[in-house]
Structure 1
Amino acid sequence: MTLDRVPLEVAKHPVGLDSAKNSLIQKLNLNSVNDVLKIGIWGIGGIGKTTAVKAVYNQIYGDFEAASFVINVRDTVAETTGLTKLQKKVLKDTSKYGDEVDSVDEGIFLFRERLRRKRVLLILDDVDAAIQLKALVGDWLAPGSRVIITSRDKHILNVAGISSECIHDMIGLDINESLHLFS
């Protein structure tokens, strides 16, 4: 079964994006299919974490059996049924099923049942709590899967089990890039 996937809108003026995108793709080590790899991106709000991971997603999502980009995890979880809503989205994106998730535990069970044999690209944008990671990333990932997590809090990336060499510190534009964007 092939799932319909469309590229994400990245940025109207993507100044300075290529270096961040290329660095992240290199960290993903896409040639290795024997392991599950998680990478993290952290930095202040508005610095370009989401834009960078959208560009990465657009370049590599076709290399995976299934892919899901979950934007604004922090804001969505603030809703009463936020975690189950996010689980439904991941299941719908990766397996065309998701409507039957009524609890976080049920969502985790369905991840294991439906996705444990699929090579998945999962991007979680703006994670700010360990419970979000528990509900959305677990032992259900098949070898060759890749997870990218963005956060404003580097500690969350450590909680996710991401090694320091797999954490990308997002920095602002240099002076020339800033002038280019401004003009």
Structure 2
Amino acid sequence: MSDRRAATNLGNQPHGLMDQEQQARADEIFDETLARTGAKDPREFYRKRLRDMKTDNPDAYREAVAYYEEKLIPSIAESGDDPLMAWQEFGCRVAQLTVAGAPVEIDTTGQRHPYAPPTSSDRMVLHIPEGPKGRALVVGLPPELSPAQLATYDLLVGGRQKMRDEGAGSREDP
């Protein structure tokens, strides 16, 4: 995949260096899984992070693209790996390439748990940066955030320190 196209095409179109049939098959499997499970599609989070990474850290960007082409797509299209978990692992890799830290799971009560894939579908997965600076990065979201998860998202990802209005967690955008 060319560097120019990688950040904008994740999961959208076949790529130059990859087998187009393999890419199409992986996309089809993932789209079917999203439709069947109601899971949120994480690719937009990753696209944005890759666009930023391409400018800020080209070496990390190339490593992420290589992981996508050499591990992620073949694991879904050929190996039959769970596509949700494969994409989540890719998200963890991209987050780690963005900033040193560790992934954690947030349950529906807002309780933090060690990241232990496969992650339950009702848990939010965040990458928590090391040290006092930096916001958490989204790795995966459940189909609907609980009020406690939404509050955690607002604080750790959004930096928001005021409560949202009642019912705010049911919209598409956390």
Q: TM-score, normalised by structure 1?
A: 0.31
User: TM-score w.r.t. structure 2 length?
Assistant: 0.32
More helix by share: 2
Q: Larger relative CO (CA 8 A, sep 6+): 1 or 2?
A: 1
